[in-house]
Amino acid sequence: MAVVVMKEYESLTKETVISLAIELSLFSSEAPLVCEEIGDGNLNYVFRVTDGSGEKGIIIKQALPYAKVIGESWPLTLKRAKIEASALQKHGEYAVGLVPKVYATDESLAITIMEDLSHLEIVREGLIKGKSYPKLSTDIGEYLALTLFNTSDFALHPFEKKSLVVEFSNPELCKITEDLIFTDPFFDHETNDFEPALQAEVEAIWNNNLLKLEVAKLKRSFLTEAEALLHGDLHTGSIFASEAETKVIDPEFAFYGPIGFDIGLFLGNLIVQSFTRQDDQRDAIHTHIQNTWNTFCAKFSECWKKGESDLYKSIEGYEAFVLEKIFHDSVGFAGCELIRRTIGLAHVKDLDSIENHEQRILTKKQTLKAGERLIVSRHEINSIDAVIELLGEIQ
């Protein structure tokens, strides 16, 4: 990967992106370059440059000094571009082929130049259309096990692990998660955004001290447990796929946190999708939920058996203890994701695009109920099949 040293920060336009692509010799000098801005996320600009044939493309993603969805009133560090590029590379070392290739970065412009994945589809969009992506859960289960195990103390020398903890210190992006996932939805906070028909359910959440105690414990794990290098925002909008391929993008929230957080966010987004489907279409999603966890466990155990880095790895019962903790954390984090995606600042299209008002409100009530039960009962839920059973009980 090249590191391009450019001038000071400026917000790129389609024209300056083309000049940059020429300056960096990313295409042959005669190619008639075309650029479009394709970013649909909350935070950054994403430019796609093609050579006119429409076939060869590259992606130039640029961080803005503020959150795009809110505007300049929400300043945000440009350092997130470097974190994202470094996390793509670090995760790519272990989850080979499951993340886009990074071609170049420039810290002062806050850009990452990477592989164009436009031949794939964002999983959230495909799932909403009823697709099921046969390889999704096997690939994501493996991605989770390989990235999380191999960046943890189970695999790394303690000096290397601690130096990665420092490299991936990401306080501003973590603060967004601390607020938007773990705090604001559980209090009457101005960032919340919910439909008036949900007022009673939302107030019940704000008044539920048992629920809030459990969320406080999960937030504490997020704040304090530097277990592995997380993606940090692994929702179905951060995954590209086809029938044959899966690629995880957008790890700008990467930092050292609890292993169950990435797993829980992915499962939470699958659970949201499950509630939006007709009964006869839910099985494909439930199979993905089960297979994600089962693949994660199988691959994590395979990694556990390799290498000698931690003498305690061979102690009877230790691996089972670790996996049990990760499972209960994952279930709780999934619950938080369900609640924040329903009533918090950042919604998901799976829910908001349900046109029929009654159906949309019913589905949102279900995601809230499921979220609450997953959080409060997570220590009594002892298998992934029990999660599926719980989903079936929610009317």
Ligand X SMILES: CSC[C@H]1O[C@H](OP(=O)(O)O)[C@H](O)[C@@H]1O
- Taking CB under 6 A as the rule, does residue 389 contact ligand ADP? no
- The answer to whether the annotation marks 252 as part of a ligand binding site is yes
44, 86, 330, 363: which one contacts ligand ADP (CB under 6 A)? 44
Q: Kindly state the smallest distance separating residue 75's Cβ from ligand X, in Å.
A: 12
89, 108, 118, 208: which one contacts ligand ADP (CB under 6 A)? 118
Please say which residue, 151 or 238, places its beta carbon nearer to ligand X: 238
d(CA 239, CA 153): 27
> Which residues within the stretch 235-254 sit at the binding site for ligand X (CB under 6 A)?
237-238, 250
Distances (CA, A) of 290 to 144, 148, 228, 266, 284: 14, 19, 23, 12, 10
- Taking CB under 6 A as the rule, does residue 309 contact ligand ADP? no
Please say which residue, 122 or 285, places its beta carbon nearer to ligand ADP: 122
Which does residue 249 touch among ligand X, ligand ADP, none (CB within 5 to 8 A, set by kind)? ligand ADP
- The answer to whether the annotation marks 139 as part of a ligand binding site is no
d(CA 30, CA 28): 6
Please say which residue, 83 or 387, places its beta carbon nearer to ligand ADP: 83
- The answer to whether the annotation marks 131 as part of a ligand binding site is no
Which does residue 127 touch among ligand ADP, ligand X, none (CB within 5 to 8 A, set by kind)? none
d(CA 230, CA 251): 8
User: What's the per-residue H, E or C state across the chain?
Assistant: CEECCCCCCCCCCHHHHHHHHHHCCCCCCCCCCEEEECCCCCCEEEEEEECCCCCCEEEEEEECCEECCCEEEEECCCHHHHHHHHHHHHHHHHCCCCCCCEEEEECCCCEEEEECCCCCEEHHHHHHCCCCCCCHHHHHHHHHHHHHHHCCCCCCCHHHHHHHHHHCCCHHHHHHHHHHCCCHHHCCCCCCCCCHHHHHHHHHHHCCHHHHHHHHHHHHHHHHCCCEEECCCCCHHHEEECCCCEEECCCCCCEEECCHHHHHHHHHHHHHHHHHCCHHHHHHHHHHHHHHHHHHHHHHHHHHHCCCCCHHHHCCCHHHHHHHHHHHHHHHHHHHHHHHHHHCCCCCHHHHCCCCHHHHHHHHHHHHHHHHHHHHCCCCCCCHHHHHHHHHHCC
Tokens 């996320």 correspond to: 41
Q: Which two tokens stand for residue 368?
A: 């809230």
Which does residue 176 touch among ligand ADP, ligand X, none (CB within 5 to 8 A, set by kind)? ligand X
- Taking CB under 6 A as the rule, does residue 21 contact ligand ADP? no
- Taking CB under 6 A as the rule, does residue 336 contact ligand X? no
Q: Kindly state the smallest distance separating residue 113's Cβ from ligand ADP, in Å.
A: 10
23, 40, 172, 243: which one contacts ligand ADP (CB under 6 A)? 40
Please say which residue, 152 or 170, places its beta carbon nearer to ligand X: 170
Which does residue 146 touch among ligand X, ligand ADP, none (CB within 5 to 8 A, set by kind)? none
Q: Kindly state the smallest distance separating residue 110's Cβ from ligand ADP, in Å.
A: 12
- The answer to whether the annotation marks 251 as part of a ligand binding site is yes
> Which residues within the stretch 234-273 sit at the binding site for ligand ADP (CB under 6 A)?
238, 249-250, 252
> Which part of the chain contacts ligand ADP (CB under 6 A), choosing from 16-24, 43-51, 256-264, 310-318?
43-51
21, 87, 114, 176: which one contacts ligand X (CB under 6 A)? 176
Which does residue 344 touch among ligand X, ligand ADP, none (CB within 5 to 8 A, set by kind)? none
CB count within 10 Å of CB 353 equals: 11
Which does residue 122 touch among ligand ADP, ligand X, none (CB within 5 to 8 A, set by kind)? ligand ADP
Residues that bind ligand ADP (CB under 6 A): 38-44, 46, 59, 61, 100, 114-118, 122, 238, 249-250, 252
Binding-site residues for ATP: 44, 61, 115-117, 250-252
| Chain residues in the site for ligand X (CB under 6 A) | 41-43, 67, 69, 176, 180, 233, 237-238, 250, 345-346
